[in-house]
Amino acid sequence: MSTDEILFDAEERMEKALSVFTGELRGLRTGRATPALVDQLKVEYYGSPTPLKTLAQINCPDPQSVVIRPFDASCLKDIEKAIRSSNLGMAPNNDGKMIRLTVPSMSGDQRKKMVAEIKTRSEDARVSCRNIRRDANKHFDQAEKAKEMTEDDRDQGKEQVQTLLKTFEGKIDELADKKSKEIMEQ
């Protein structure tokens, strides 16, 4: 593999780790209603776990409530069951046509727990990026041993991977800090 190929692969994989972390943050409860709270919720629909967003229209008519209108009214009970069994901490109100969730405001302890959860998930994302760096460095070592590149090229490539890692760690920290501030402000 050439230096460019190794760097491109590492950057692509770090980008994926960042997008996974961003998706996790989007689903965290902040005390404000957002469709992302329930988007990825899995509903047992005809025997297979299906994401809620494919089964229903999800809206937030006001900052404190989420309205879920299923495309097929027969799956209302399944959606309600999935919400109750999730760790959202919200009780669904089913009126036969739609489900309404009221998002309660978070207490100080809940906010602190949520910030701790964000720190844990951000560290997981950073560890993923570091693992990607390790793999890229391994590719550089193998290429140098196979005489596909010089020692200087290998060392320069490793420095570029380290720079890439610092960039993505900075982005992860920035997202985590932004979400933590959002949670603590409300």
Please state the rounded mean pLDDT for residues 66-80. 86
**What CA–CA distance (Å, rounded) separates 20 from 14?**
10
Spatial CA neighbour of 57 closest among 24, 27, 99, 102: 99
Residue of higher predicted confidence among 35 and 81: 81
Please state the rounded mean pLDDT for residues 55-84. 86
pLDDT of residue 72: 84
In words, the CATH class of domain 3-26+107-185 is mainly alpha
In words, the CATH class of domain 36-102 is alpha beta
Confidence bin at 26 (pLDDT 50/70/90): confident
Please, are residues 53 and 44 in contact by the beta-carbon 8 Å criterion? no
* Residue found under tokens 């109750």: 84
CB neighbour class for 96 (10 Å; exposed up to 12, middle 13-18, buried from 19): exposed
Please state the rounded mean pLDDT for residues 32-52. 81
Please, are residues 132 and 13 in contact by the beta-carbon 8 Å criterion? yes
Show me where the domains of the chain are located: 3-26+107-185, 36-102
Dihedral sign for Cα atoms in the order 170, 23, 58, 186 = negative
Please, are residues 22 and 176 in contact by the beta-carbon 8 Å criterion? no
**What CA–CA distance (Å, rounded) separates 184 from 181?**
5
pLDDT of residue 185: 76
